[in-house]
Amino acid sequence: MWQKIKLFIQGKSKADVIFLLLFFLFLFVPMSHIDMSKKSIFENRAFATWKPLFNNSYNINEHFGKDFDSWFGDRFCGRRTFIGIYNYIYMCVNGHVGKYILDKEQNSIYRSTEFAHKKIALIKENFASLYDLLSYCRDKKIKLYVLITPMRGDIYETKLAEKVVSLKKEKIWHNDFLNFIKDIEKEGKIKIIYPYEEFKDISLKRRLYHTNEHHWTDDGAYIAYLKLMQDIKSDFPKINTLQPDEFNYHARFEDSVFNEFFIYRDFCMQLALPQNLCQKIYSNKYRQYEHKNVGMLFEENIYKQFLNKTELNYPLGADYRVLLIGTSNIENFEKFIGYTFKNVKKIRLNGVKGIKEEDEFKIMKYYEKEILDYKPDIMILCISYTNLLSLNKIFDKD
């Protein structure tokens, strides 16, 4: 065999020989280590399964070539490195890759869905459930406040995003929503707090959202808190609003936000981007708030089937019972509500054990007993703009 190889090489130029060696080396490397994992935690999807040429009945798999290509394409050695290099080059040249958008000025990555909106007619239909919830709360002598988190893409619109995403239609639909909220405010029946203008005014001075995911930072939560408290104080004038000098502040880097549970939601990790670009994103800082009386707050967390709640007691707070219920943004919002009131019960709607994603907003099905037993004076429903199409399930008990 070696004699044949020697005869083949004779008469060939060094360049041809080097090229052939590199070519076969390049073919060998992907096969040198096959990843046998069933799922990619970074991409949050299952890998293609092995489908043999012959099945158990010895029938030929006519799609073997395509099936093998899918299986090998998910598992070859160096796959994530190749993907990362490709994504990095493509993103640097075009400003986006797939559903992800890079904002070089802000060192941020967005999903394209963060710029998407729904027709106002759909939103209006679902708002009917909020009026039903308002009637329910009035019957129980509960003051209802609905806090809606603006989408990050609406606050940090960039020239880059306008090139990548067609925002003309989206902006029209969002303006329709802004006008709808203004009409609700004039009507005066239900308290809807949508701090869009407040976020826009301060967005260049403070980092209101994390740089590679959609959740607000402590600064964003505090701005929303101030807007909410304006409405609450109109009904309860004696309640004090927490002031900036009541907190200690710490600089926190983005890389400390994520743990293993959230790693699959990390856009930088999903795209397998090179470390130098990820470090630029993670080097962004935001302010973390810590109340100066942190040792006086009693907190009890209860995690069980169909329930994820936290009970907060702060002896110096206003003497009212508050129910804070909503999606993931309530996690750092509690540090403001928790020091404003003496008794707060926080109930998380999403990511609860035993509850399917499509059932997360069935509030009366899963939490009516909690509401009736607690007898809150105030209910704060804190949701994101993207949750508006789930409101029609509030009273669904099926």
* Tens digit of pLDDT at every position of the chain (398 positions): 455 555 555 555 656 556 556 655 655 666 666 666 777 655 666 777 777 767 766 677 777 778 766 766 666 666 777 777 777 777 777 777 777 887 777 777 888 888 888 899 999 999 999 999 999 999 999 999 999 999 998 998 776 666 666 677 788 899 999 999 999 999 999 999 999 999 999 988 888 998 877 889 999 999 999 999 999 999 999 999 999 999 999 988 775 444 444 444 467 777 777 777 777 777 778 899 999 999 999 999 999 999 999 999 999 999 999 999 999 999 989 999 999 999 999 999 998 999 999 999 999 999 999 999 999 999 999 999 989 989 999 999 88
Q: Is residue 333 part of a domain?
A: yes
Distances (CA, A) of 255 to 101, 212, 217, 258, 281: 19, 10, 13, 6, 9
Write down the residue that tokens 């012959």 correspond to: 54
Using only C-alpha atoms, the chain has a radius of gyration, in whole angstroms, of: 27
Q: Is residue 4 part of a domain?
A: no
Query: How large is the angle between the packed helices 64-75 and 79-94, nearest 10 degrees?
Result: 80
Pairing of the two strands 143-149 and 378-384? parallel
Q: Give the DSSP letter of residue 327.
A: S
Domain with 316 in it: 110-393
Contacts of 94 (CB under 8 A, 6+ apart): 164
Q: Is residue 255 part of a domain?
A: yes
359, amino acid identity = D
Strands (E), 197-297: 247-253, 285-291
Partnered with residue 230 across adjacent β-strands are none
Using CA atoms, how far apart are residues 71 and 51, in angstroms rounded to an integer?
8
Distances (CA, A) of 74 to 49, 97, 266: 9, 19, 20
Using CA atoms, how far apart are residues 121 and 394, in angstroms rounded to an integer?
19
For the chain, the helix, strand and coil percentages under 3-state DSSP, each to the nearest 5 = 50, 20, 30
Q: What's the pTM value of the predicted model, to 2 decimals? A: 0.80
Q: Give the DSSP letter of residue 60.
A: B
Q: Please give the pLDDT value at position 99.
A: 77
Cβ-contact 199, 155 below 8 angstroms = yes
Using CA atoms, how far apart are residues 384 and 124, in angstroms rounded to an integer?
16
Q: Is residue 10 part of a domain?
A: no
Using CA atoms, how far apart are residues 54 and 204, in angstroms rounded to an integer?
61
Q: Please give the pLDDT value at position 94.
A: 73
Using CA atoms, how far apart are residues 347 and 323, in angstroms rounded to an integer?
8
Q: Give the DSSP letter of residue 358.
A: G
Q: Please give the pLDDT value at position 264.
A: 42
Q: Is residue 70 part of a domain?
A: no
Q: Is residue 198 part of a domain?
A: yes
Strands (E), 83-184: 96-97, 100-103, 108-111, 143-149
Q: Please give the pLDDT value at position 162.
A: 64
Pairing of the two strands 100-103 and 108-111? antiparallel
Q: Please give the pLDDT value at position 134.
A: 96
Q: Is residue 77 part of a domain?
A: no
User: How many domains, in total, are found in the chain?
Assistant: 1
Q: Is residue 104 part of a domain?
A: no
